[in-house]
Amino acid sequence: MAAFQVILPRKRWLCNEIFAPSSELKETAFGEATGQCVNSLIRFAEAASCRRDTARIMLPLLSMYETLGDALVGFHHSFGKSSNKFIHEKLEMTIHTLGKAVMRMLPIWLEDLVRENLINAIEGGAGIHCLTRYAMSYISRLVNDHKISLNLLLHDELSKLEVDRHWGITPLGHKVLSMLSYLHSFLEYKSNYLKEAGMRELFLINNIHYVVELVNDSELKSQLGDDWDQNIMWQTDKLLSSYLKRTWSEILGHLSDNNSGGKYKVLFAPKSVVRQKLKRFNSAFEAMYNLQSSWKVPNPVLRREIREAVSETVIPVYCSFLEIHQLNPSVEKYHLDLAMFTITELKELVFNLFEGN
């Protein structure tokens, strides 16, 4: 695009200097000096707008569209005469073609990326999927660098969406929401391949939190409105509850009393029953701890919140079990011949989870 920003203005200046006495010669010389160059650039832009690799070509096309649009005013001044009217019209048609190409690519570039990644395995356990990082980086560039042009291009298409405007959602924001919804559907699909209990939920929580954090810390938030993430946060709360239920709540079932009689009956449970319950709990807890220690929650704030949720689920039940049976782990582990956890040990283990070790 340097041709429109640098080369053509310089040629205009040279023609004006050399052929200053004759306006007709100035225009003729400038047209002959630049016509072939301009036509070549226009043909290149038209060819590029027909390509199918949308994710790779859309950002360059947007830059080309914006550069030609910005140069058009000065370009009219440079060519200025009816002898070059054809080039004026051709340039305007090219800008229109580029705009249409961008509008064609905008809804499908993410679909093309998803198709390329459907067969790829999830790397890093429950961590951030590579497509989530790439897609959000791409969307951020779209919004940060091209939001004005895209909102203008989308204005007519979305002019009837008055409801969204009341919520502060821009035309581009509406498209971004569609992209985020499509990305979430892809992540849901990929999560079904994770078979370990709780890993699917943690994978989705990690990726959703990554999206929310990136949106809130960028220009994306100004396009989506203030309330865009309410439904998303409700989803993460639901996923966290499901994660706790499928993992730690099941382990705590080993400490419960499955017979009738409630707390009174448990209080007088034989030592052999207590020993068996603790043995099953210890075994299940250690297995779950060893598994989830290898899972990664990259964000330190989210990691702490999930650890606290696990602690609030596990520790009170374990404390209650010890209290009901009047057990002191530092003493009773010798009497029951079990490596019982103290409360402090259990908390330390919980707060070592999700480091990806």
Residue 180, amino acid: L
264 plus 286 within the same structural domain? yes
How many residues in the chain?
357
Q: How high is the pLDDT of residue 88? A: 73
Q: Is 353 left (phi over 0), alpha (psi -120 to 50) or beta?
A: beta
How many C-beta neighbours within 10 Å does residue 148 have? 10
Residue finishing a domain among 193, 209, 239: 239
- Rounded to whole angstroms, the Cα distance separating 141 from 158 reads 21
| 356 in a structural domain | no
15 plus 125 within the same structural domain? no
Contact, 205 vs 306, CB < 8 A?
Answer: yes
Residue finishing a domain among 69, 85, 105: 105
Q: What is the CATH number of the domain that holds 304?
A: 1.20.1280.170
43 plus 114 within the same structural domain? no
Q: Per the structure, how many domains does the chain have?
A: 3
How many C-beta neighbours within 10 Å does residue 318 have? 23
Alpha-carbon dihedral angle through residues 139, 141, 142, 144, given to the nearest 10 degrees: 120
127 plus 187 within the same structural domain? yes
pLDDT digits (tens, 9 = 90+) for 142-183: 999 999 999 988 886 666 555 455 567 888 988 999 999 999
pTM score, whole prediction = 0.81
Q: Tell me the residue range of the domain where 276 lies.
A: 247-350
Q: How high is the pLDDT of residue 279? A: 87
- CA 179 to the chain's CA centroid: 9
Judged on CB neighbours under 10 Å (0-12, 13-18, 19+), 109 is: buried
pLDDT digits (tens, 9 = 90+) for 213-263: 999 888 888 888 777 877 788 889 999 999 999 999 889 998 886 544 444
Contact, 95 vs 69, CB < 8 A?
Answer: yes
215 plus 327 within the same structural domain? no
- CA 104 to the chain's CA centroid: 22
215 plus 275 within the same structural domain? no
78 plus 124 within the same structural domain? no
289 plus 185 within the same structural domain? no
Q: How high is the pLDDT of residue 46? A: 75
34 plus 67 within the same structural domain? yes
pLDDT profile of the chain (357 residues), mean per 10: 61 70 69 70 76 76 85 63 63 86 87 74 75 92 91 75 61 90 92 88 95 90 81 88 92 75 51 84 93 92 96 93 77 59 90 88
Contact, 296 vs 355, CB < 8 A?
Answer: yes
How large a percentage of the chain has pLDDT more than 90?
29
101 plus 217 within the same structural domain? no
Residue finishing a domain among 50, 79, 105: 105
Q: How high is the pLDDT of residue 353? A: 93
